[in-house]
Chain A
């Protein structure tokens, strides 16, 4: 086997290290998924294929409860964050510097820069104050916290999409008698749609994934799937947890796949 060309991209051992790293990334997940189908109650001994843990998971009232709450939270937070982020993106892109721009960027990106534990603590204190004043202990705090946290994540793909859009299209629309609002509705919005959907999906996944903020902000009985699982870690763990984890995984995977497909589409 003769090598026809000197492969300048080849560095010794790198391919192998890369493969090992990929193995490192996926092995734990595969193990987790595999054992969710374990017939036995053990996490170490394999005793045959079974779906009993999935049945148990579906039947578990607490699991149903937290799953629904997670989904409600994720959809609400992602919707709010996407709407707000879209407006903010429209306001901050494609323009020479205008007064206050850096401050706006700092505010929008703040959840990305500040460690989640710090934000969580801040919200805990702030909402505690409000709780004392108003007595409200509903889901509102979590929705607000998640919405704010998701804004920068929704903002990024929307802004990216906006920046690659041809500016002359809106000029052409104005030339053809479209007012600002109509130009937005008929030209900008349809072209921006993939970015907005991507932003929503990103926000959705981030909200589902958030543990620290949720853990600190939640009132009693307001567990989400993440905090529920965190709580389960302390107990004796059965493959039911694996089953829940696998289902959760599939949900995230679906959202991320759609997101990837959308961001590759170019129109």
Chain B
């Protein structure tokens, strides 16, 4: 099938999933829609119970949507059983067949598709080389380490050359160092094979580093879809801002608005310039978010004219940076993150009256 360069590999159209019946119904997915592009590393990110794994299982075919459509290159695959979909899964528990060797596991999909023995052998060899597991071909899967099992699971899912590869939190069982290595590995594999990857995780750092685009999910809905940068710098909703990285929330009122930007008057009287989503009128009470690294602690005279004023309550040293916790007059704690380079040698003592300066163009108004 000739594919256009910007074709959508997967289209989710208003998909819902309901479990149980009557009074005990649980809505795992609520009319979710998203389009995933070809050759994309797409991540579904969210806390447990948000529906990301449910959505993945619906794409794989292990369950049926209660409503909506799932299209693979324009074809509705919802009525197809999993063994008829050119989609393969890397399971969280790996699900390697314990009674087969590594080689037999990897070749299983191709064997089921009826490929000739020679072709299967060649593919298995190629896969083993791809994930660097050649010497372990004849080992039983119960005899290899967790990290090795993970790579076998990956090879097994890639061997049949699926159109889409689904990965269900595949790195969650690995230790930190191994996880970092595998993240780089996965990114490389995706680029090399050109297969669309749909990756599920609850680890926002993982999502930010690996993905081309991220869909942030909560309670059965997709809250925002965008690149890592978009999601981090311009979170659409409170949940997204809170879930990704650390952030500060400030209440204010829209003083003036133009061209997608607004002047927001804070409680302290200072005015901060922030990005503004559509549909917000002046006079409206809003919340803006400011990332800790986009603010600076100022002392002395500069503190007088700063956007926020308060008392330094705590300073936590992290090696590479220092987190300052400032109690804002009449408000809560504002966190500032400053890198510990020699230039910022000004030491602020706990108890000092300080001000907080906010970088221009770094604040975002939430859709609340």
Contacts and interface: CB of A to CB of B under 8 A. Distances in A.
| Pair from one complex | yes
Interface of A: 166, 168-169, 171-179, 182, 186-187, 190-191, 267
Max chain B CB contacts within 10 Å: which of A177, A178, A187, A191? A177
A206 B70 CA distance: 53
B112 A175 contact: no
Contact of B99 (A171, A177, A267): A267
Contacts of A169: 95, 97-98
Contacts of B322: none
B160 interface: yes
11 contacts: A168-B91, A171-B62, A172-B91, A172-B95, A174-B62, A175-B83, A176-B109, A177-B83, A177-B112, A190-B99, A191-B98
Contacts of A172: 89, 91, 95-97
Contacts of B87: 175
Contacts of B89: 172, 175
A173 B108 CA distance: 8
A191 B91 CA distance: 19
Given A172-B91, A174-B83, A178-B83, A267 B156 contact: no
B60 interface: yes
Contacts of A267: 98-99, 142
Contacts of A174: 61-62, 81-83
A176 B99 contact: no
B113 interface: yes
B25 to A, nearest CB: 15
A179 B156 CA distance: 17
Max chain A CB contacts within 10 Å: which of B60, B88, B108, B160? B108
Max chain B CB contacts within 10 Å: which of A169, A182, A267? A169
A175 B60 contact: yes
A97 to B, nearest CB: 13
Give the 7 A-B CB pairs with smallest separation, nearest first: A176-B109, A172-B95, A177-B112, A168-B95, A174-B82, A178-B112, A177-B83
Nearest to A166: B95
B101 interface: no
B88 A176 contact: yes
Given A171-B62, A187-B97, A191-B98, A176 B91 contact: no
Interface in B138-171: 142, 156-157, 160
Interface residues of B, number: 25
Contacts of B84: 177
A176 B81 contact: no
Contacts of A175: 60-62, 82-83, 87-89, 157
Contacts of B82: 171, 174-175
B204 interface: no
Given A171-B62, A267-B98, A176 B156 contact: yes
B93 interface: yes
Contacts of A186: 108, 112
B99 A191 contact: yes
A186 B109 CA distance: 12
Nearest to B86: A177
B90 to A, nearest CB: 10
A182 B99 contact: no
A229 to B, nearest CB: 42
Contact of A168 (B81, B88, B93, B108): B93
Given A168-B93, A175-B62, 14 more contacts: A169-B95, A172-B96, A173-B108, A174-B81, A176-B108, A176-B156, A177-B109, A177-B112, A179-B83, A186-B108, A186-B112, A190-B99, A267-B98, A267-B99
A175 B157 CA distance: 9
A43 B334 CA distance: 96
A179 B160 CA distance: 16
Nearest to A165: B98
Nearest to A187: B97
Contact of A171 (B95, B142, B156, B157): B95
Nearest to B87: A175
Interface string B105-146: 000110011000000000000000000000000000010000
